[in-house]
Chain A
């Protein structure tokens, strides 16, 4: 039975776990799109910055990893705040494509600033987590951790948005920004908080990525485009949709890599994305209301 061989099962399980990482990456991007209606094209570069924050604190300055890792969340959260305040806010009223392109400038800046400071070398924090063996299946522990963090991050964000006062305000602004500002909600403040939250999510993703990958200035290009595709496929701004889209895409990539080559499976994922965009531009999981 070729269909039930362990390697395929392993590919599927690893696909699910990889989906956790992608879902976590998509979470912050989706949040900022849903609320502020802006695509941070430099989102993957914010994650990269978080990875370098951990690297610098842990390796160069010798902080313990458990202390350095939360600093990535704080640091990138602050970066999210600054990005919104300095780049997005001044051009919030111009066509959305301007905002996308302005964060594109940020992408260039972050990538090359990282090259300037850290060089183009691949760097890692020198920590390798064990690989779990269950029967004949080999499962990467760091991926399992990312998967767990993605689920926790998702639940945490959901609780924050649904149970807290400010979370309710964020959801209200996401639904109708004009009306909410008439209702006396300070949209500027809501945008700032959302951006900081999205940055913090990028920081969380950075922690989990730094455990399994070497960091280099151009690492954003390896997972950035696929993250955008996931957000759009799930329906931009739809957190749950993005979560499921992450698993669809990751299964395509994982099983595709198992049968063919990694590049071709990415090609299939991108082509699927393009086709989905033509058929359902609002994303597969967006409700038709």
Chain B
């Protein structure tokens, strides 16, 4: 009971935050943290079961570009464009996931296939430069006549609207995480990540379990991309698809800890706060500084804390014996974590 009160208090503080005078810049950071946490959580749903995708940029890009192209060229409201964008991402996930899981493409090979997928989407967006603006990127058209608050186009000049939307999506992702953790899918996928053949011989339908979690993750990632596009009101193929952004999603989740519900959120907070503070204090003269340290942090994190910062702190608090250095199943039996 006490726990639920605590959660309710935390959520209401977060929800009421914009009512107080939070400077716009901090609100901006909060929104970015929430959206990236959402995307990181989506990735971790797959990643924590050993299905490592290096191509989530593909789903990110296809969702946001579909939504924006439909808005700019057909005048279709994002309310219809978003489901279409997500549906396309799901279709792509199905096209890549079904054969991959059916033919037992795992580990390295799955990572490289998804890496190629991310590049396919990025290059296709650039190739379709007549409608997407190529590598220069595109901006969603302003709603006509211009208004400050347009629910129809989901364009708001006040950041607080986006804060609430991002907060709701992030909470939704946490609920989905909890739901997956409490369903039979979790033990099934854990068994699969330990040993696929053994799991199959136990009667676990390997392909369908892996496919379902992949579809879930891909759909959520597409929504995350759409949120980014709507919030920034600017789309760029390199920052929304391809190898670079895909790796960033992976690393954010790993640094935070992909085995815990709040791990990717911690990762997003660390990544964004770190980058922004170094940028404000040192300016552009030290461009690359924060990411260099971040890269080192990643290497150290994977070698010494394979469960990420959150996981390491959690283990330390519980004083459990040190965890195995496995990227496979989460040995933690607590389903609520």
Enumerate chain A interface residues (CB-CB to B < 8 A): 39, 87, 90-91, 93-98, 100-102, 104-116, 119-120, 217-218, 221, 224-225, 228-229, 232, 236, 261, 263-264, 266-267, 270-271, 273-274, 277-278, 281
Contact = CB atoms under 8 A, between A and B. Distances in A.
Given A90-B303, A270-B119, A112 B105 contact: no
Interface string B241-268: 0111001001100100000000000000
B282 to A, nearest CB: 10
Nearest to A44: B243
Contacts of A221: 242-244
B99 A106 contact: no
A101 B302 contact: yes
A222 to B, nearest CB: 10
Interface of B is mostly: helix
Interface residues of B, number: 51
B120 A101 contact: no
A117 to B, nearest CB: 8
B105 A263 contact: no
A270 B109 contact: no
Contact of A263 (B112, B115, B123, B297): B123
B291 interface: yes
A44 to B, nearest CB: 10
A108 B244 CA distance: 9
List 10 A-B pairs, minimum CB-CB distance, nearest first. A109-B295, A105-B298, A115-B288, A108-B295, A112-B291, A116-B288, A263-B127, A105-B299, A112-B288, A112-B292
A47 to B, nearest CB: 15
B117 interface: yes
Contacts of B287: 115-116, 119-120
Given A95-B50, A101-B250, A116 B292 contact: yes
Given A104-B251, A115-B288, A267-B127, 17 more contacts: A87-B303, A97-B52, A97-B107, A100-B108, A102-B298, A104-B247, A105-B296, A105-B301, A111-B288, A111-B291, A112-B291, A115-B287, A221-B242, A225-B116, A229-B112, A232-B112, A277-B100
Interface in B275-292: 286-292
B295 A106 contact: yes
B303 A91 contact: yes
Nearest to A108: B295
A112 B295 contact: yes
B123 A266 contact: yes
Contacts of A104: 247, 250-251, 298
Nearest to A226: B119
Given A97-B108, A105-B302, A274 B96 contact: yes
A95 B107 contact: yes
A93 B306 CA distance: 13
Contact of B112 (A39, A102, A218, A278): A39
A101 to B, nearest CB: 6
A108 B119 contact: no
Nearest to A86: B299
A116 B116 CA distance: 28
A129 to B, nearest CB: 28
B50 A97 contact: yes
Given A97-B107, A104-B298, A221-B243, A261 B288 contact: no
A114 B126 contact: no
Given A105-B299, A267-B120, A96 B108 contact: yes
Interface string B62-98: 0000000000000000000000000000000000100
Nearest to B135: A263
